[in-house]
Amino acid sequence: MKLFERTVKMVLATCLAIIVADLLNLKFSTSAGIIALLSLLDTRQYSLKIARDRLISFILSFMLAYSIFLVFGFGLFAFTLYLVITIPLLYYLKIESGLVPITVLVSHLLTLKSLNPSVLLNEALIFVIGTGFALLLNTYMTSNSGQIKTYQKDIEKRLKEILFQLEASLLAEKDSVIEVLVQELEFELEQALKMVYRESDNQVFQQTNYQVHYFEMRRNQVRLLKQIVKISQNIKEKNRESVLLAHFIHETASQLSEKNPAVTLLDDIASLLQTYRQRELPKTRLEFENRAQLFQLLQDLENFIREKTEFYQEYHDLP
């Protein structure tokens, strides 16, 4: 949630909660605004979870407070006993998010020194109004779908660029900036995933994991690509195998897109592996090491492509 959006929502939720509490002539009406302020969180799902946790906290805490104040009266000892029991209980149940706002409401009972139904109703309404306005304001969330699409296109473009650079590196002995490009791509992927997970958490009813899985798939590919780049730097000799592999990497880059199933590339890898096996055995240590590096690189490239084919098989029916 952007700072401007967060500020507007917090101000509106707080003020509206206080106004409604005042219209209902509730005591401690400002507490409704504070609860609204504390309940307005980054995503819809998280806001709903916290609202649920605080509702459970409210019920348990007021049952305990009612019993303790009824037996021990409205003194510091009773309030201390309430805290001694409530704090570990809420933490044990993992609903501690309700501890502070609900304790504020319980303190009102201590201030009024009353357990009358009207007083309990007053606190319940303050809780409902504050939480309700927070949830109401969070029904609107700015969509980041446009930015996510931009990330998607840019990441595919960067992946292609790295693969083409890798092809050039295998065809000619020259330094390249592949490692820097991979680091930049990793950073952008992490930024994209943070945004995608936030967007996913804002989908309460019609949630799809497509975008999450898409960017996770690309992240797995980048991890494999780091290994491929590292191996390519250990290839000391250019030969027919490295040329064939470079051409295959070029074809992989050309077919790299969201909607491409990449199945034919797996067939091409099988053919290339067969070609490697039919070649003469290496005669020198350098040739042996070179062949081993190329074989490992090809296997990693196969896993790179398989990441995409498995993703496509799971989601190809989606529009």
pLDDT tens column, 186-224: 899 988 888 888 776 666 545 557 888 888 889 999 999
pLDDT, tens digit, 9 for 90 and up, residues 259-277:
766 677 877 777 777 776 6
CB 241 within 8 A of CB 297: no
Mean pLDDT across 293-298 = 82
Where residue 262 falls (left for φ over 0; alpha for ψ -120 to 50; beta otherwise) is: left
Residue type, 32: A
Looking at 13-17, 135-139, 171-175, which range is the least confident one? 171-175
Asked if pLDDT for residue 238 goes beyond 80, the answer is no
pLDDT at 78: 94
Asked if pLDDT for residue 154 goes beyond 50, the answer is yes
Neighbours of 131 (CB within 10 A): 26
Mean pLDDT across 282-292 = 67
Q: Is 21 helix (H, G, I), strand (E, B) or coil?
A: helix
Contacts of 232 (CB under 8 A, 6+ apart): 166, 169, 170, 178, 293, 297
Residue count (the chain):
319
Asked if pLDDT for residue 17 goes beyond 70, the answer is yes
pLDDT, tens digit, 9 for 90 and up, residues 27-55:
999 999 999 988 887 677 777 888 889 99
Asked if pLDDT for residue 236 goes beyond 80, the answer is no
